[in-house]
Homo-oligomer: A and B are copies of this chain.
Amino acid sequence: MSVPKPSLQLVAEVLEGQARSLSRLISRAEAGEVECRPALAEVYRHTGRAHVIGITGVPGSGKSTLVRGLALAARKSERKVGVIAIDPSSPYSGGAILGDRIRMNELNSDPGIFIRSMATRGALGGLARASLDAVDLMDAAGFDIVLLETVGVGQDEVDVVQATHTTVVVSAPGLGDDVQAIKAGILEIADIHVVSKCDRSDANKTITDLKMMLGLGLREQTTWQPPVVPTSGETGQGIEALLTTIDEHRAYLQQSGELAKRRRQTAEMRMLKTAEDILRQRFVGRRDGVAAELLEQVIARDIDPYAAAQRLLAALHEGEAK
């Protein structure tokens, strides 16, 4: 597939690190524009340099403050930092958490930091696909570190955060039992644990509880033992230590061969998620044909949704062949 000239120009500008062109291509990827796929395919060839860090944790754990602190800390060593914040958005209006984003935007005056929030819940673009396209674009644009922030609930969010090199799971003192229980589900994906808000008096209990849970966990033993790093957004404590730990994890990934394994997993996940996206788009595009007929049969209870899905897939294939 050849890349049209205007897109080729845009790709060249992204590779030079031009923020406006980067922003434009991210928007087009987020919108699920099929026309920008050749440009993104070209961009993909220039990826693989950035260290991608997933930051996840339950609502209220202080992820955004941590991401802000990490970005500023990385700037001290002259590294360029890209930030992608995935918003838990409305299925209808695509609303975002405004407060956090406004605080983030303060960072935007530094040209070495590029911030983008994604609120993709649309029919055309899957959350995972669009976020990882944005990671590719920032990577190709020369950002040394890409921070991908997401709420740690929901399969899509877990998939995205597992597509990073280093996964940081944020815990915080003072959250309710129900919230803590949800957190338990994502502890296992952590390469590094952070206990935020450690200026609070009850933070030590959270750290102790967390260490106990990790000790009791069924996590597969590897040579990398996920450390627990206490941080505080108030005092700035622990942010430098966290960045150092992230760099140590990166070195471990490269030396152990784990990096290649993760790249494989990520490539597999992306290919499959994208196949699902394409399938959904084809279905939406054929609402008036076979799909509509099958739908009527499901509504009338002549066939069940599973049988309808099988016939739909078969019909889509036949349509392709024509």
**A41 contacts chain B at the CB level, 8 A cutoff:** yes
Instruction: Annotate A286-314 by CB proximity to B: 1 below 8 A, 0 otherwise.
Output: 00000100110011010111111110111
Number of A residues contacting the other chain (C-beta, 8 Å)? 81
Which residues of A60-86 have CB atoms within 8 Å of chain B's CB atoms?
Answer: 60
Set of chain B residues within 8 Å of A18, measured between Cβ atoms: none
Within the oligomer, what is the number of copies of this chain? 2
CB contact between A295 and one of B44, B90, B271, B317 (< 8 Å): that residue: B271
B182–A90 contact, CB under 8 A? Answer: no
Instruction: Annotate A83-110 by CB proximity to B: 1 below 8 A, 0 otherwise.
Output: 0000011111101010110000000000
A185–B90 contact, CB under 8 A? Answer: yes
**A2 contacts chain B at the CB level, 8 A cutoff:** no
Among A275, A313, A321, chain B packs the most CB atoms within 10 A around the CB of A275
Q: Which residue of B lies closest to A302 (CB)?
A: B45
Instruction: Annotate A230-246 by CB proximity to B: 1 below 8 A, 0 otherwise.
Output: 00000000000000000
**A253 contacts chain B at the CB level, 8 A cutoff:** no
Set of chain B residues within 8 Å of A100, measured between Cβ atoms: 178
**A1 contacts chain B at the CB level, 8 A cutoff:** yes
Q: How near does chain B come to A284, taking the closest CB pair, in angstroms?
A: 9
Residue ranges of A at the interface with B (Cβ–Cβ < 8 Å): 1, 37, 40-41, 44-45, 47-48, 58-60, 88-93, 95, 97, 99-100, 121, 127, 129, 132, 151, 153-158, 162, 176-179, 181-182, 184-186, 188-189, 218, 263-264, 267-268, 270-272, 274-280, 283, 291, 294-295, 298-299, 301, 303-310, 312-314, 316-317, 320-321
Q: List 14 A-B contacts (CB under 8 A).
A: A48-B301, A59-B59, A59-B179, A90-B185, A91-B189, A97-B182, A132-B305, A153-B154, A154-B155, A156-B156, A275-B279, A313-B320, A317-B317, A321-B321
